[in-house]
Amino acid sequence: MEENQIRSLLNVVIIGGSAGSLEVLLQVLPKLENIDSIVIILILHRRNSDDTVLEELLRMKSGLKVRQIEDKTGIKAGRVYVAPADYHLLIEHNQSFSLDVSEKVNYSRPSIDVSFESAADVFQTRLTAILLSGANNDGTKGLLAVKNKGGIVIIQSPETADVPFMPEHAIKNLEADYVLTPTAIVEFIARLVK
């Protein structure tokens, strides 16, 4: 199996969110003028039926290159990828996505933990993981995996979250590198681009 394959120098930002996180993304993404040198991957708990509505909305509001993911889609710089509804999203060492319809994790598919753990495995120190608003335990284990592999862990400050349960749960269980407001998240990502 492929291991230690192409290791590009790309910085990757993976963002996980549930209830109340879409508002944050609609606030953050439009402020990023250019993400040419990085990749953003979004793992959002979403309805099974909404198909491509979310991608369209994010594309329209942000002006960024928002891409749907199909099985084995290759990861390219300058793009925002959105995990499809009803699949777990995993990342391969050759920098492509793969999908998985196995059991839900934390009552969720896609599960933030599953994608964060997989991204941590592949991108290691080049990964920044951000956990946003939500009413679920999902994401905490994933952030721990990111931390263990040397990535950067950011949690949305609970007082700015619509539904603070998910960020609070993570803060209780691990030490984040940063706890940031949405405005500070924008600044952080913008610095990564440079």
Partner 1 sequence: MFNDQHLQLFIDEIFDYYGYDFAGYSHASFKRRLERVYQMGDFVSFQEFLYKIKSDTDYLTYVIEEITVNVTEMFRDPAFYKVLREEILPSLSSKPFIRIWHAGCSTGQEVYSMAILLQEEGLLSKSIIYATDLNQTVLENGKKGLFPLKLMKEYSENYRIAGGKKDFSEYYIANYGYAKFDEGLSKKMVFSQHNLVSDSSFNEFDLILCRNVMIYFDKDLQDRVLHLFDSSLAPLGYLALGTKETLSFTSVYKNYEQVRKEKVWKKIK
Q: Which is nearer to partner 1, 49 or 194 (CB)?
A: 49
d(CA 129, CA 141): 12
Exactly one of 88, 115, 138, 157 is catalytic; name it: 138
Q: List the catalytic residue out of 21, 45, 88, 118.
A: 45
| Residue closer to partner 1 (CB basis): 41 or 90 | 90
Nearer residue to partner 1 within complex by CB, 112 or 132 = 112
The alpha carbons of the chain give a radius of gyration, in whole angstroms, of: 15
Least distance in angstroms from the C-beta of 191 to partner 1: 29
Binding site for partner 1 (CB under 8 A): 1-3, 69-72, 84, 87-88, 90-93, 98-103, 114, 117-118, 121-122
Q: Which of 18, 108, 115, 118 is catalytic?
A: 18
Could you tell me the CA-to-CA distances from 176 to 30, 61, 157, 172 in Å, in that order? Answer: 25, 29, 11, 10
Q: Least distance in Å: CB of 15 to partner 1?
A: 19
Establish whether the linkage from the previous residue to 30 is cis, with ω within 30° of 0.
Answer: no
Whole-angstrom Cα distance, residue 9 to residue 37?
A: 9
Which of 126, 172, 132 shows the shortest CA–CA distance to 146? 126
User: Nearest distance from residue 114's CB to partner 1, in Å?
Assistant: 7
Nearer to partner 1, 117 or 154 (CB): 117
18 labelled catalytic: yes
Q: How many CB atoms within 10 Å of residue 24?
A: 21
Active site residues: 18, 45, 138
